[in-house]
Each structure stands twice: as structure tokens, then as C-alpha cells.
Amino acid sequence: MQADSLPSYSKPSLAPAASVILIIDDNPKSIKALSLLVRDFGEVLFATSGAAGIAMAMKSKPDLILLDVEMPGMNGYEVCRQLKADLSTRGSGIIIVTSHSSVEHEVEALEAGAADFITKPLNAPLVRARVKTQLLVKKQADALQRLAEQDGLTGIYNRRYFDEQVAQEWRRHQRQRSPLGLALVDVDYFKAYNDEYGHQDGDECLRSVAQCLTLALRRPGEQVARYGGEEFVIILPYTDNVELLKIGPWLCEQVRNLKIPHAKSAVAQWVTISAGLASGIPSIQSGPDHLLGLADKALYQAKANGRNQFVVAEKNLE
């Protein structure tokens, strides 16, 4: 596959999306009544059993789940506990809906991990107020989460987020015995750039390179993060050395094409990058640091060879 013919895909947006509400209730009439009350808050999904609800929550990651307690099979409390125990669903807020209005039931709901409690028969203004509150809580939590993952200067993902993602990808690729690729990118003669143009322009340069690398990625799951200083790191899922040999020059070319003047560069009149790339099938014995080490050595080699170029690590993970 040629680098310039990689399939395009829509970039994951950092902006908050519209709310998604999932109603889990065995009674279609209850689902209808609830959805009429909350449908103007966002998209409403529904499931008529605990098991189907959990499956749907995993797939659609709703902001809020309205969960009936009295259901055949798994009751609402159990569904709630399972949703809160699973990493992929624990982020959804849960409001328990039940016809039992007693302190004990309310306590059980909260202990199971629910954020709030609504009793039947439904009181329309109360339901709407509680749903609105929980959606707001979720939005604030999401905003905090994004801030925690973001690099303040460039707006792309930060090192902390990268560390979490690469550990996750490592395990996933290990399970699937697939090659995971990494690229370490360094802006050439960046200190000289700062000295020549000043720190404000230096910051602007880093923002431009960060955006350029983000836009250069074409395949789902590829993620670029600021690794520190003028270094960036890119996670390349399902990528072997053959692909790296195409991605390396593609990245270098994209940054060169920005044509950011760099009078103090010894290798070009524009801002350029050096890139070190490595790939391998993760093993149980080692961790992502092993792959990062290989990419780092390759980057060192690219710099030693004269910068404005890439090197793919020849040695793979053992």
C-alpha cells in the first residue's frame, strides 16, 4: 500500500458529542414513557433485558443509563454492579428506576454504583431534572478527562495519555499476535530555531508540527502524542516494518511541506524532522518500553546519519 493511497478516515473529535441515553427496562410501556420524557436531551437507545442492556452499553458507551430494577433474569442492581465493574462501561452514569420507594432500596442502588434513584410512578419534572443533572455531571467529567489527556501547548494528546494507550495496545496486539508499530519524531535543530525566532515562534512551530503529524495519520487507531520537548510519538496499530518503510518518509515529507522557514538548520531551509520507527509482536516477557527503546535507537541513528530522514529499526522484538 502506497503512503499516499492510505484510506482516509474521520479524525476522532475532542469536542463533546450529543448525549446518548440508554433505557434498560423489561416493560415496553415503561420504555416508551421514559423515552418521551428524556428524548429532547439527546439520542435514546433501549434494551429490554439486563444482558442486552450491558451489551448495548459496551457498544454505544451511553452518557446515562436509566435502569429498571424489577426485570426477569438479572435484576437492575446486578446489572448496575456489572456495568460499574467493567472498564468499558463504568464511565456511564446510572439512574436506578424502581417501584420500591424505601431507604433500603435507595441505599442498595447507590451501593451498586448508581448515581441517582427514581421511583415509579414517574414524576415527569422530577425525572427530567434528575436526568439533566446527571448529564451535566457526565459532561463535566468528560471535559476533565479530556484536559487530563491533553498537552497544554499543542492541544494533542500528552505523554500520560500515550503511556496508558501504548500499554493497552501492547496487550491487545499481544493477544492477537499482531505487530505494533511506534514512531518517535524529533524536530531538527529546534533549539537553534528557538534561539533564532524566539520562544513564541518556537511554540507555534511545535503546534504546527503536532497538527501536521495528526493530519498525516490515515488509519483508525493511529494516535500522535507530545512525548516531551520537541519530541512526538505515534502509535501505529497493526503495522509491520514494510509499512514503516512507507510511513517514515511520508511523515518527513509532510512536515517538510509545511515550509516553515528555519534559517539556522544545517540540513534544509525549512523545519524538518528526524524519525525513528520500530515494530514488533509484543511478548509477555517484555513491555512497551522495549519497543520504545528500539524506536529511540532508530531515531538516534537518523540524527547521526544527518537528520531530515527516518530510520526503521532492523531488530524486531524478540
Residues of this chain that bind Mg ion (CB under 5 A)? 26, 68, 70-71
Give the nearer residue to Mg ion in terms of CB position, either 71 or 252: 71
Rounded to whole angstroms, what are the CA distances from 52 to 89, 113, 220? 13, 19, 27
Least Cβ distance, residue 30 to Mg ion (angstroms): 7
**Axis-axis angle for helices 159-176, 124-149 (nearest 10):** 90
Burial class (CB in 10 A: 0-12, 13-18, 19+), 316: middle
For 205, counting Cβ atoms within 10 Å of its Cβ (0-12 exposed, 13-18 middle, 19+ buried), the class is buried
Q: Which residue is nearest to Mg ion (CB)?
A: 70
Catalytic (active site) residue 164: no
Per-residue cell: 123:
414524576
Distance CA 172, CA 165 (A): 10
In terms of CB distance, is 50 or 248 closer to Mg ion? Answer: 50
Least separation in angstroms between residue 120's CB and Mg ion is 9
Considering the complex, state which of residue 73 and residue 261 has its C-beta at the smaller distance from Mg ion: 73
State the residue for C-alpha cell 420524557.
37
Catalytic annotation, pick one of 108, 169, 222, 230:
230
Q: Compare residues 70 and 201 and give the one whose CB is closer to Mg ion.
A: 70
Shortest distance, position 84 Cβ to Mg ion, whole Å? 20
Burial of 49 (0-12, 13-18, 19+ CB in 10 A): middle
Q: Rounded to the nearest whole angstrom, what is the least distance from the CB of residue 107 to Mg ion in the complex?
A: 20
Q: Which residues are catalytic?
A: 230
